[in-house]
Structure 1
Amino acid sequence: MVLRAAGRQSLVDTVVAQLRDQLADGEWKVGERIPTEHALAEQLEVGRNTVREAVRVLVHAGMLRSRQGEGTFVVSASDAGEVMRSVQRAGVRDVLELRIALETEAARLAAARRQPADIARMREALETLGTHVDGEQRPRAGQYELFAEQDTAFHVALVESAHNVALSATYRWLSGSVRDALLTSLRETRRPSLRDEQTLPLAPRDHAAVLEAIEAGDPERAERAMRAVLEEPRRVVDELLDGGPAA
């Protein structure tokens, strides 16, 4: 596939985008050397400095790697930054399904690896969360944002109790989307057709079961409890998006 000639506006960005597309399309395989700066400059009809800057961007993104005296080689066909931006643009249901995958594993690992400080941090977050619910464990009207902030703090603390650097970094990055998705769910459940106990998402008493299982050092019970916490909001979201009760 021949590279298209770049336009004259935002040349570096244009070249970065074209090279990224070529990598995603498999123009050069992982481990393969890409053409020289001179060859790319001729194909794209831009200067070598522009190509050099574009390659640097992709090296920084982790897609390319330069080896002195050998050339530039493909490391990955996907841009991790673009992947993360795609997650940020994902819908509520997609984010929730990703949460279920991450948090059930995090709960299992936390039960095996938790430290006293982890338990204390989760308990504190859970106690604060409880101040934002009424006697029926429903988030208080007008306190949805506070509830969402503290709920997210509990889940971040839980994930970090797994003591897995990659998992913690991923979840911390995702936490903003987690909070926004929760707020959407809370606001939507104000609809008359959804106001009942069965559609209440994320009650603190459900979180307590997760904390108890983690503190007891029971990975299987912790994983089940975490799945139960997130399964109810998943059902609510399915109902909201599909226009009827989830199967």
Structure 2
Amino acid sequence: MPPTVQRRPLTDQAAELLRARIVSGEWEVGSKLPGETTLAAELGIGRSTIREAVRTLAGLGMLESRQGAGVFLRSITPPDQWPRVLEAEAILHVVEVRNAVELEAARLAALRRDASDIDALRRALDGRSAAAHAGDAAFVDADIAVHRAVVLAAHNPVLSELFETFVPRLRAALLELIGVLDLRSEQQPDADEHRQLVDAIEAGDADAAVRISRAHLDGLADALLAQLPG
């Protein structure tokens, strides 16, 4: 009985399980894989998840989808970049959530900030700069402190609670991001964008705050997408 998917994200798990079955020699190169319905039943997941997993492996050159014919095995050899692809996709999920939380936080912060919020934002920026040479973990913590200060300046307790719940996953993703994109804290990645965001909040320019925050997150997403094959 083939193993079933038990942990999230389901698409990554399904892709990894399919890859393991390919590497084990379950199917010969050039052969047709079972249909979506069969694979979904074997793995205990939905057809849409299987479809995304097949798309991932097709992007890696291991599978080939032929319209009207099905999915065929192209290569058994797992690519060297497989762990990197999974990391990039997982971090992209976090970036999507950051868009949902941080864009609204930036907008509200520009509308509701007070003098103490601006002081806190400036201190957080200084802390981020000071941590530039202190190693990845220290830099990530200082970076999160800036975003936390933005959220607090929004003066929405529910938004703050949501952000704090999300922080552990955010921290893990940022640490992974430094490795995936070969960033190093001493380069102070995106320092100017963070400073511009704080300037926009201080000026009460909600549109600029949202635009700067979106550009920052879109830049991360684009860089991660560039890591994915196809």
TM-score range relative to shorter protein: 0.5 to 0.7
Q: State the structure with more CA Rg.
A: 1
Contact 1:201 1:233 in 2 (8 A): no
Q: Which residue does the alignment assign to 1:187?
A: 179
Q: Which runs of 4+ in 1 moved over 2 A?
A: none
Q: Distance in 2 between matches of 1:203 and 1:143?
A: 16
Contact 1:110 1:161 in 2 (8 A): yes
| Higher-helix-fraction structure | 2
**Runs of 5+ in structure 1 lacking a partner?**
1-89, 134-139
Alignment of 1:123-202 (within 5 A): 123-133=122-132, 140=133, 143-190=135-182, 202=189
Q: Which residue does the alignment assign to 2:106?
A: 107
Q: Distance in 2 between matches of 1:212 and 1:169?
A: 25
- Asked if 1:209 is matched to 2:201, the reply is no
Residue 101 to residue 201, structure 1, CA distance change in 2 (3 Å) = farther
> Percent identity of the aligned residues?
35
Q: Distance in 1 between matches of 2:151 and 2:158?
A: 11
Q: Which amino acid aligns with 1:157?
A: A
CA RMSD in angstroms, aligned pairs only: 2.2
Larger RCO of the pair (alpha carbons < 8 Å, separation 6+): 2
Q: Which residue does the alignment assign to 1:117?
A: 116
Residue 176 to residue 201, structure 1, CA distance change in 2 (3 Å) = farther
Q: Which residue does the alignment assign to 1:228?
A: 215
Aligned residue pairs total: 140
Instruction: Give 1:128 shift.
Output: 1.2
Contact 1:156 1:175 in 2 (8 A): no
Q: Which residue does the alignment assign to 2:54?
A: none
Residue 202 to residue 170, structure 1, CA distance change in 2 (3 Å) = farther
Q: Distance in 1 between matches of 2:118 and 2:90?
A: 32
